[in-house]
Amino acid sequence: MKPLILVVDDDASLRRVLEYNLLEEGYQVVPASSGEEGLRLFDEISPDLVITDMKMPGISGMQLLSAIRERSLDAMVIIITAFGTIDLAVKAIKSGAYDYITKPYSRDALRITVANALRFKGLATENRRLKSELSDRADFRTIIGASSAMEKVFGIVDRVADTEASVLITGESGTGKELVARSIHLRSSRQNKPFVAINCAAIPYDLLESELFGHVKGAFTGAVRDREGKFQLADGGTIFLDEIGELPVGLQPKLLRVLQEKAVEPVGGTKPSKLDLRILAATNLDIEKAVSEGKFREDLYYRLSVIPIHLPPLRERREDIQLLIKYFCGKHGERKVSFDRECMELMVSYRWPGNVRELENSIERILIMRNGDTIKADDLPEKIRSGASNSLSGINGNEEVIVRFPDDGYSLERLEREAVVHALERNRWNQAAAARFLRIPRHTLIYRMEKYGISMPGKSG
């Protein structure tokens, strides 16, 4: 893509010459006739480089330079100074300009200075990307778990990592879906290429298509230049479509086409370009249900979920809790800290609705608030301390039963009704299965359904 240069000069003829010279070199150019206009355009188009004259009425080149540096430390600015004002040029460089050109300038001087500035900017960006990837790597290498459920996950990750298969990772919030996605990327031969994550739920609908696939200049108001989407940025690497269940129905056919044809067409563009991408996706929604309700296209679902990986909630793999606690203490530099028995039992029996993320946050807090190297029940947050005392938790067959009793009492009838509804719902209103689930004969279930007036939603009677 062509670098975009903002040219600021109050002298119309000089501005036009500069613009013409830069266009000849193959750059995109946006002109501004004052410092004020330059600053406004800078915010609007975020150019790769700014070339500004020094002496202008209103906001001067020097003031423009400092306003731009305030907004972005990596903004590249070249200033143009009149012959004989070298001290001004020196001052500008001290304030963060990349270089200067003296008027009258030769085309060669312009060409070389601009090319150097852009090359430098490219290196700086690349450097920053590599650094952030390195720190990501340290964090994202380790997935802790010894439960059979996690062993199963590790087995799948090992087998699929270095393939091209699409993987759909499901699980409640905080169960480690993104961690698994990054770990797949880092174990694949694409590990040195970009890993680009995009949260489909966080971007407004109007912007999502262009955010994913890019747009061409003029595709819509505000599209003042060509812009690459996340797909183009991920070329050669892995793209991670987070919260895929929230992808608007309107965009689903387009994504499907991209996956089938391995080519992307930017918004307003005419020809798709080929991309080499590995696709990973994640969701905490029940996506099969979304498919059956027509909210998610079945064909797209099958494309994405060639390999499904499910991460069970932490409360269904409590064996991992103790290990995770040790790991997070170490991660926060507190290897010598231990939990006494009562305290560990509370931690293990707490329900962890926010899963591993909640566990990590709690450990962080406990480490800050603790009164010594041995953590006792008193050091735990209230929700964990009281969790066990007003709930009944036990193993019933393979099914874990957790009932929370409100402090002001409860109605046994209501509890029974809720159990019946729960059993029916999770067995898709299959009465025989629900009766087995509740370990009662089927006629007892039917009797209770009638007693409480429970019927399948959408069906009467």
Q: Which residues make up the interface to ligand ATP (CB under 6 A)?
A: 142-145, 171, 173-179, 284, 356-357, 360
If one asks whether residue 342 binds Mg ion (CB under 5 A), the answer comes out as no
CB of 331 to Mg ion, least distance (A): 18
CB of 100 or CB of 240, closer to ligand ATP: 240
- Binding at 121: pick from ligand ATP, Mg ion, none (beta carbon under 5-8 Å per type): none
CB of 53 or CB of 242, closer to ligand ATP: 242
Angstrom CA distances, 370 to 75, 321, 339, 366, 378, stand at 45, 19, 11, 6, 9
Part of the chain binding Mg ion (CB under 5 A), chosen from 45-53, 171-179, 200-208, 392-400: 171-179
CB of 59 or CB of 311, closer to Mg ion: 311
- Candidates 104, 116, 82; CA nearest to 17 is 104
CB of 182 to Mg ion, least distance (A): 10
DSSP 28: E
- Binding at 143: pick from Mg ion, ligand ATP, none (beta carbon under 5-8 Å per type): ligand ATP
Rule CB under 5 A: which of 393-432 touch Mg ion?
Answer: none
DSSP letters spanning 111-136:
HHHHHHHHHHHHHHHHHHHHHHHHHH
Single-letter code of the amino acid located at 303: R
Single-letter code of the amino acid located at 211: E
CB of 98 or CB of 328, closer to Mg ion: 328
- Candidates 246, 237, 266; CA nearest to 254 is 266
- Segments of 243-390 assigned E as strands: 263-264, 273-274, 278-283, 307-311, 338-339, 374-375
Length of the chain: 461
In angstroms, how far is CA 392 from the centroid of its own chain?
37
CB of 143 or CB of 344, closer to ligand ATP: 143
User: Is 225 within 8 Å of 217 (Cβ atoms)?
Assistant: yes
- Binding at 356: pick from Mg ion, ligand ATP, none (beta carbon under 5-8 Å per type): ligand ATP
CB of 169 to Mg ion, least distance (A): 9
CB of 320 to ligand ATP, least distance (A): 7
CB of 172 or CB of 211, closer to Mg ion: 172
Single-letter code of the amino acid located at 199: N
In the bound complex, which residue of the shown chain has the CB atom lying closest to ligand ATP?
176
Beta strand pairing call for 391-396 and 263-264: unpaired
- Candidates 259, 314, 247; CA nearest to 287 is 247
CB of 79 or CB of 356, closer to ligand ATP: 356
Q: Please provide residue 149's backbone torsions phi and psi, each rounded to the nearest 5 degrees.
A: -60, -40
CB of 45 or CB of 143, closer to ligand ATP: 143
CB of 144 or CB of 156, closer to ligand ATP: 144
CB of 271 to ligand ATP, least distance (A): 35
- Binding at 91: pick from Mg ion, ligand ATP, none (beta carbon under 5-8 Å per type): none
Q: Which of 11, 25, 37, 178 binds Mg ion (CB under 5 A)?
A: 178
- Binding at 326: pick from ligand ATP, Mg ion, none (beta carbon under 5-8 Å per type): none
- Candidates 36, 37, 42, 32; CA nearest to 8 is 32
CB of 178 to Mg ion, least distance (A): 4
CB of 356 to Mg ion, least distance (A): 11
- Binding at 342: pick from Mg ion, ligand ATP, none (beta carbon under 5-8 Å per type): none
CB of 202 to ligand ATP, least distance (A): 10
- Interatomic CA distance for residues 98 and 118, integer angstroms: 10
For residue 271, give every residue at least 6 positions away whose Cβ sits within 8 Å of its Cβ, in sequence order, or none: 265
Strands of the 307-311 sheet, one edge to the other: 195-199, 238-242, 278-283, 167-171, 307-311
Q: Which residues of the shown chain bind Mg ion in the complex (CB under 5 A)?
A: 178
